[in-house]
Amino acid sequence: MGIRDMLAEVASTYDRAAGSTREVKGQQVLRGVASRTDLVLPPGFRAEGHGGQTTPAATPWIGVFDKQGMQDPKKGLYLAYIFSADLKNVTLTLQQGITWLEEPLGKGRAREEHLRHHAARLRRAVRRRENVGWVDEPTLRDAATRPRAYEAASVIAKVYDTAQLPGDIALLEDLYLGVQSLRRAEEFDRVWWASGENDAFQLAYAIKEHSPQGGASPRDFDPLADFHPKDSGDYTAEIKARQQVKQRSHEKLVEDFGRYVAGRGFTPITLRQHPKDLVLRQQEPSEGQKGEWLVEAKIVRHGNPTVAVREALGQLFEYRHFLYAKQASPFLVGLFSEEIGVYASYLEENGIASVWRSDEGWDGSSRARGWGITPS
């Protein structure tokens, strides 16, 4: 008995039409995975079967979770054996959580696009092309939203024919390779979270609408109550057995600008806004300017604004597309650590205001001045 027998037993007993109650044989097999003692798993990992709760799963699956790491398949990264709807294939896949994206993106195309976009970024970290016999996505052969999301969420996948499953040694070798890929992807995530840089990738679009509690008048609350910029002090990041000391100049830029713009009648908000750098709302909204301002902050390096401007423009358009699909489009603002020269007019042509540090404090493009963000 072992992984091969477990997978074969699920493939031979699972029957979606039989329901999801405890007396159904296939459901019993899946629910019994967690208590099996014959599975030789990588040290520190456990397995757990899923066949649906009130509704039978179209594509049953078995999660392989790190006991010390992320164990919630609703979010984060994990390994799973996912069966195709016809049970002819089972795929070992490094998966992204999909359930937590339902609120901001729904269950359809927007979620799938985000998952594929992020999976492509993670594949660079796991070096999928070096893994012979592995693919990007499995084909689960079901048109329901969840199986389609599983396909889109796959970072790296090894597909097996359930009628000709390899032996336990080969399966375990593949599982160890899956664990290595999981570790690389997790490290990539951790370094990004610690880096304070926004040019690596955006982890998630899980944003909840935020407004003053109880619909209170803007005069009744502190305009900086929801402004919590990250620590701007230096920090040490551990990256593959070496240390790098980095400066959080990005956070300092956001913090300084937020405190400045609060004095110009705007409420800066960072709380629960990730991956957005900053959102502004007017303390006393004027006619024609109701809504919010989406601010993307960039550090201009070595006096060359080209890269910073390109990244700001791309991220502002990306966030507007994904994060504001169900609400009014925001006003767009690029925030820079220094003057960006001719790129200010370039951003203006694309509907984006620009603001930058100046010797006197802050300066900006004509659109930023018109909105009252910088002095006329």
Q: pLDDT at residue 278 above 70?
A: yes
Closest CA to 330 of 203, 196, 197, 209: 209
Q: Residue 199: what pLDDT?
A: 37
Q: pLDDT at residue 208 above 50?
A: no
Largest separation between any pair of C-alpha atoms in the chain: 76
Which of residues 163, 193, 223 is at a domain's end?
193
Tell me how crowded residue 112 is: count the other CB atoms within 10 A of its CB: 19
Q: Residue 239: what pLDDT?
A: 39
- Check whether residue 225 and residue 363 sit in a common domain: yes
- 259 burial type by CB count under 10 A (0-12 exposed, 13-18 middle, 19+ buried): middle
Q: pLDDT at residue 207 above 50?
A: no
- 234 burial type by CB count under 10 A (0-12 exposed, 13-18 middle, 19+ buried): exposed
Whether residue 69 is contained in a domain is answered as yes
Whether residue 205 is contained in a domain is answered as no
List, as own/partner pairs, every contact residues 22-29 make where C-beta atoms lie below 8 angstroms and the sequence separation is at least 24, other chains included: 26/51, 26/60, 27/51, 27/56
Sign of CA dihedral 242, 248, 250, 251: positive
* Total H helices, total E strands in the chain: 10, 13
Instruction: Tell me the helix, strand and coil percentages in the chain, rounded to 5.
Output: 40, 25, 40
Which of residues 193, 223, 246 is at a domain's end?
193
Q: Residue 197: what pLDDT?
A: 42
- Give the model's confidence band at 203: pLDDT under 50 very low, under 70 low, under 90 confident, else very high: very low
Which of residues 132, 159, 193 is at a domain's end?
193
Q: Residue 76: what pLDDT?
A: 80
- Check whether residue 218 and residue 356 sit in a common domain: yes
- Check whether residue 41 and residue 169 sit in a common domain: yes
Range of the domain at 281: 213-370
Task: List pLDDT tens digits, range 145-160.
Answer: 999 999 999 999 999 9
Q: pLDDT at residue 86 above 50?
A: yes
- Check whether residue 158 and residue 218 sit in a common domain: no
Whether residue 22 is contained in a domain is answered as yes
- Check whether residue 163 and residue 301 sit in a common domain: no
- Comparing 21-25, 265-269, 284-288, the range with the smallest average pLDDT is 284-288
- DSSP secondary structure code for residue 288 in this structure: T
Tell me the average pLDDT across 118-131. Answer: 79
- Give the model's confidence band at 191: pLDDT under 50 very low, under 70 low, under 90 confident, else very high: low
Residue 142 backbone phi and psi in degrees, to 5: -150, 135
- Tell me which H or E stretch contains 29: helix 25-31
Q: pLDDT at residue 288 above 80?
A: no
CA dihedral 315→320→322→323, nearest 10 degrees, is: 110
Whether residue 200 is contained in a domain is answered as no
**108 within 8 A of 86, measured Cβ to Cβ:** no
Q: Residue 216: what pLDDT?
A: 39
- Give the model's confidence band at 46: pLDDT under 50 very low, under 70 low, under 90 confident, else very high: very high
Whether residue 323 is contained in a domain is answered as yes
Q: Residue 189: what pLDDT?
A: 61
- Check whether residue 135 and residue 256 sit in a common domain: no
Token output for 173: 């070798």
Whether residue 147 is contained in a domain is answered as yes
- Check whether residue 145 and residue 18 sit in a common domain: yes
- Check whether residue 170 and residue 224 sit in a common domain: no
Residue type, 248: R
Of residues 359 and 7, more confidence is placed in 7
- Check whether residue 153 and residue 292 sit in a common domain: no
> In the block, which residue shows the tokens 């990256």?
239
Q: pLDDT at residue 177 above 50?
A: yes
Whether residue 16 is contained in a domain is answered as yes
- Give the model's confidence band at 337: pLDDT under 50 very low, under 70 low, under 90 confident, else very high: very high
Total number of domains constituting the chain: 2
- Give the model's confidence band at 237: pLDDT under 50 very low, under 70 low, under 90 confident, else very high: very low
**Dist. CA 78–CA 95, nearest whole Å:** 5
> In the block, which residue shows the tokens 């066949």?
51
The CATH number of the domain where 345 resides is what? 3.40.1350
Highest mean pLDDT among 127-131, 198-202, 256-260: 256-260
Token output for 340: 């960006």
Of residues 203 and 92, more confidence is placed in 92
* % of residues, the chain, pLDDT over 70: 80
Whether residue 202 is contained in a domain is answered as no
- Check whether residue 179 and residue 222 sit in a common domain: no
Tell me how crowded residue 86 is: count the other CB atoms within 10 A of its CB: 12
Token output for 204: 């998630």
Q: Residue 110: what pLDDT?
A: 87
Of residues 202 and 7, more confidence is placed in 7
Tell me the average pLDDT across 140-148. Answer: 95
- Comparing 80-94, 207-221, 248-262, 358-372, the range with the smallest average pLDDT is 207-221
- Check whether residue 183 and residue 271 sit in a common domain: no
- Comparing 15-19, 96-100, 197-201, 237-241, the range with the smallest average pLDDT is 197-201
Token output for 36: 């099996």
- Check whether residue 314 and residue 270 sit in a common domain: yes
Closest CA to 135 of 97, 174, 167: 174
The CATH number of the domain where 51 resides is what? 3.30.920
Tell me how many degrees the CA angle 200-94-130 measures, rounded to the nearest 5: 75
**336 within 8 A of 300, measured Cβ to Cβ:** yes
